[in-house]
Amino acid sequence: MSLFAVKEEMDALVSELNQHNYNYYVLAMPTIGDFEFDKKLKHLAELELANPDFADPNSPTQRVGGDITKNFLTVQHKYPMLSLGNTYNEQDLRDFDERIRKAIGDNFEYVCELKFDGLSISLTYENGKLLRAVTRGDGTKGDEVTNNVKTIHTIPHQIKTKAAPEHFEIRGEIFMHKAAFLRLNAAREELGEIPYANPRNFASGTIKMQDSKEVAKRPLDGFIYFLYTDKNEFKNHWESLNAVKDWGFHVCEHNRLVKNIDDVLAFIHHWENERFKLSYDIDGIVIKVNSYAQQQELGFTAKSPRWAISYKYKAAEVETILEKVTYQVGRTGAVTPVANLKPVLLAGTTVKRATLHNANEIERLDLHEGDTVFVEKGGEIIPKIIMVNVDKRKSGAEKIHYLKNCPECGTELIRKEGEAVHYCPNDEGCPPQIVGKIQHFISRKAMNIDGLGDETIETFYKNGLVNHISDLYTLHEKAVQLKSLDRFGERSIENMLSGIEKSKLMPFEKVLFGLGIRYVGETVAKKLAAGVKNIDKLANATVEELTAIDEIGQRIAESIVEYFGNTEHLKQIELLKIAGLAFEIEEKVITLDSDTLIGKTFVISGVFEKYSRDELKDLIEANGGKILSGISGKLDYLVAGDNMGPSKLEKATKLKVPIISDEELLGMLAK
């Protein structure tokens, strides 16, 4: 190969791997598996070693993690967050062990730990109190996400022991349990949003959210795995792990202290299959020399410690036959393709189906009828097809094309510009959408109607008792038909009708969420209710008026306008009004503490150390001020906290709106 070709290949690898790093660390949406990434990275490192003059200073071989998101305060790490060298084969581990023995002799121990598939975090404590939490970032500096991390129940805000030093840093991994991931991803799909690929991505996306209240709704967990102090408080890593566990930190119970490399390999073999029984994902095992003195003697390379290494499991993968592709229609009309497979054993379970996500995925895989496919279940909870074995493709096999019409009602599917998902627009006539919308309406987070369940709604629909949400409120007129159904006795009918009647007391925001408007989740419904006050104003609002409401974006606004542009939806709302549901918020009667802020308008944005946004809102209103939903030329003050959205700041600056802190607001009240 010519030198020019070598340089070209190296540049291409740098560009490709940097993009993969960005997808993984910043977007939390990887497009390549770890094994494939590590192979490419190793090949680039070999080329750089052989051709140092061509090495790019921005090469991913010289960096630890990803770029820094601009939405958070960037903090320098006191102790760099280095990555670990990793391997996929046992011989590399024996070579690692041999290098250790040559450097420090035979008298040492290893600590074996599970390698969690999550987001690395550095926690700083001062006088027992959590001072800050910072992501890995690029290894030398990361994003401060303290308020978000404080929502994780297993991470203490304050430790009560006096045994801990005044100042220390502790490293850990934030992750999401599989059950929580499946539940939350299902909610995303219900809203027509693209689901996250795996719990790691969901955890990463969550910890980077701007609103810590939203983070708190997504159950994250964390394990601690390393302690840093200015003075060595302990002789070895094993002692420190046990100590921080006593201090109240969450330390994995599966860690093991072992004597030699054979014990290490036995630990690795044990967890190769047992890992699938855990409630969270691991993608390997971390091996560390136990003694701190020996760690110091072994030292570091520019990128990683010489006293530690990680063994990574290859994602569980099998070959099977694609029998057919079917399609599921969700309550919002989103149509999801599913691969139906010849049953095959994978990672301890029999796999019959695999997700295909959307039309882009079918095209990327170039699927044909009866293809032999490779199915993977690594970090993915739901198995996915990673590639086709083209060599086994039958001659003349037909290419699979994404369907053009709804598989349930035959309506032509639509796909909006910039979106990956196709959906059926016939929400008033497509059976799974009708049933799904009513099931959503009665759910716990919406109207929370006792005595009704998903199966009951399906039964009612099949028997012509309900075709719309409003039909629930006429069920009391159909007692004879209800009694004729199996498993519907006098008591169960009475309970159900009582639950429906009680639902009329639910507040506007719950009714609004229950309507099932595309992209309007529980939080968005609250923002809209607070911003417009009643359904009539919402129905007549323009896109511009809606986007002026705090945290309502263009896509949500357009969806709302489209929803209320449908006369069938307006008819349903009128029927629900007649039934007695709440379609406006109850305004609180405020007794003023003073008239200091009368005539002044405020918008509150960002995160505050001493007060929540709701507390500041109450404080302003209690002193005569008024809270606006968005920034405009009529605004008197923007109360700005940390991590405020850059668009709000830019708009306020452009309109010359005074920007004040919470302290300055309190100062105004003191005067």
Q: In sequence order, which residues have a C-beta less than 8 Å from that of residue 644 and are 6 or more positions away?
A: 605, 606
Scanning the structure block, which residue is given the tokens 């790093």?
Answer: 21
What type of residue is 28? A
Q: Write down the catalytic residue from 39, 115, 394, 399.
A: 115
The CA-based dihedral angle spanning residues 492, 495, 496, 502, taken in that order and rounded to the nearest 10 degrees: 180
Residue 8: helix, strand or coil by DSSP? helix
Q: How far is CA 118 from the centre of its chain?
A: 11
What type of residue is 284? G
Enumerate the β-bridge partners of residue 388: 373
CB 130 within 8 A of CB 58: no
Q: What is the C-alpha to C-alpha distance for residues 234 and 109, in angstroms, rounded to an integer?
A: 15
Q: Choose among 201, 187, 147: nearest CA to 523.
A: 187
CB 531 within 8 A of CB 492: no
Three-state helix/strand/coil letters over 540-577? HCCHHHHHCCCCCCHHHHHHHHHHHCCHHHHHHHHHHH
Pairing of strands 659-660, 637-640: parallel
Q: What is the C-alpha to C-alpha distance for residues 368 and 380, in angstroms, rounded to an integer?
A: 23
**Residue 115 bears catalytic tag:** yes
Enumerate the β-bridge partners of residue 328: 336
Give the DSSP letter of residue 394.
Answer: P
* Residue 129: Cβ-neighbour burial (10 angstroms; 0-12, 13-18, 19+): exposed
Phi and psi for 171 in degrees, rounded to 5? -105, 145
Q: Kindly write down the DSSP assignment for every residue of 15-49, as one continuous string.
A: HHHHHHHIIIIISS--SS-HHHHHHHHHHHHHHHH
Q: Choose among 129, 167, 135: nearest CA to 148.
A: 135
- Residues acting as catalytic residues: 115
